[in-house]
Structure 1
Amino acid sequence: MKAALVIVDVQDTLLPLVRRGEELADRIAALARELRPGGTPVVALQQVFDPESPVSTRLGLEPSDVVIRKTATDAFYDTELAALLTGWGVDTIVLTGLATDYCVDATARSALSHGLDVVLVSDGHAPAADGDPEAGLTAEQVVDRHNRILSTAVHPGGTLRLCPAAELPALVLR
């Protein structure tokens, strides 16, 4: 497995709006620090807003990390993400970020359609702080639901599996 850590839309203006945003950003930053020394590239996606919202400084991105601006929920749509991953020889993305039920979901499905395997960090993504009130789901239930749906669905390209952040370095760096 040749993996890349993909961080979706962890931006300062969004962190207060999602479930445990700062805690999540810190967890993702710790993952990046653990994975970089083993050669895992780090890619941060930045949703373009007006006014623009930069990637969160809490992530502690390094000069070797790549930031890709995007305009759609799918991080592959009209971006250089697929070409970059192919150039690195990546066959698996380790997926984290915001928001569970929008950009993380769309990016996971698109990665699979691009023939990539996905390791979804089961505690590495978050929805809106209030979950999905129209569906009667708390934020925790949204995360659980998407973890279950994404990990059990049949996908046309790669495979998707769940892994909690604490177990991820052993999986990726083995």
Structure 2
Amino acid sequence: MKPALVIVDMQEVLIPLVWQGAELADRIAALARDARRHGTPVLALQQIGPSGSMFDPDAPGTRLSARLGLEPTDVVVRKTATDAFYSTDLAVLLTEREVDTLVLTGVATDYCVDATARAAVSHGLDVVLVSDGHAGAAGGDPVAGLSAEQVVDRHNRILSTAIHPGGTVRLCPAAEVVFGTG
């Protein structure tokens, strides 16, 4: 297994809007430090949108959260869709680093994390979905009658049990993620 830690859309504007956003950012930052110690690449995805939108590339809130403690060696991939592979160089960056497994974290569970997990397996990659490393809206999904915690639980179950065409999705809590032995 040759992993990369992939951090989805942990942006300043989103941290206060997602379930336990600050705690999630801190948990992901700890994973990033551990990944770097083991020579595992860290890739941070950043959602961008049109000027004047919530994801205006020039708006301060669009910046990746400082809580993540990103380093100059980390790679930032800007994206315009929920699927991080769509119209980005993510697949090329992973291939260049010989990555075959994404350790997937970030927001939002029911949008970009879900879409990126599904796209990754369609690209033949395995996914270790950090079961406590992603979150959706703080208010959950009121239309479906699900709390924020239930949204995370539901997506953990669906993604880890669905039949995927190219790779596998395995759940792992952050405390049990292992990037290497050295």
Shift of 1:173: 1.3
Q: How many residues are treated as equivalent by the alignment? A: 172
Q: Spell out structure 1 runs of 4+ moving beyond 6 A.
A: none
**Normalising by structure 1, what TM-score?**
0.97
Give CA-to-partner distance per residue, 1:39-72, whole Å, 9 cap, x none.
1000000001125311111100001000010000
Give CA-to-partner distance per residue, 1:155-174, whole Å, 9 cap, x none.
000001000000002xx314
**Normalising by structure 2, what TM-score?**
0.93
Provide the residue aligned with 2:180 in structure 1: 173
Letter in 2 for 1:125: H
Match of 1:81 among 90, 110, 116: 90
Q: Distance in 1 between matches of 2:6 and 2:33?
A: 13
Provide the residue aligned with 2:26 in structure 1: 26
Provide the residue aligned with 1:69 in structure 2: 78
Letter in 1 for 2:139: D
Q: Distance in 2 between matches of 1:150 and 1:138?
A: 18
Shift of 1:106: 0.1
Shift of 1:141: 0.3
Provide the residue aligned with 1:157 in structure 2: 166
Q: Distance in 1 between matches of 2:158 and 2:33?
A: 29
CA RMSD of aligned residues (A): 0.7
Q: Does 1:129 align with 2:138?
A: yes
Letter in 2 for 1:165: A
Shift of 1:35: 1.3
Letter in 2 for 1:94: V
Q: Does 1:116 align with 2:125?
A: yes
Provide the identity percentage.
75
SS of 2:164 mapped into structure 1:
coil
Q: Distance in 2 between matches of 1:157 and 1:72?
A: 21
SS of 2:22 mapped into structure 1:
helix
Match of 2:65 among 43, 56, 61: 56
Alignment of 1:139-154 (within 5 A): 139-154=148-163
Provide the residue aligned with 1:3 in structure 2: 3
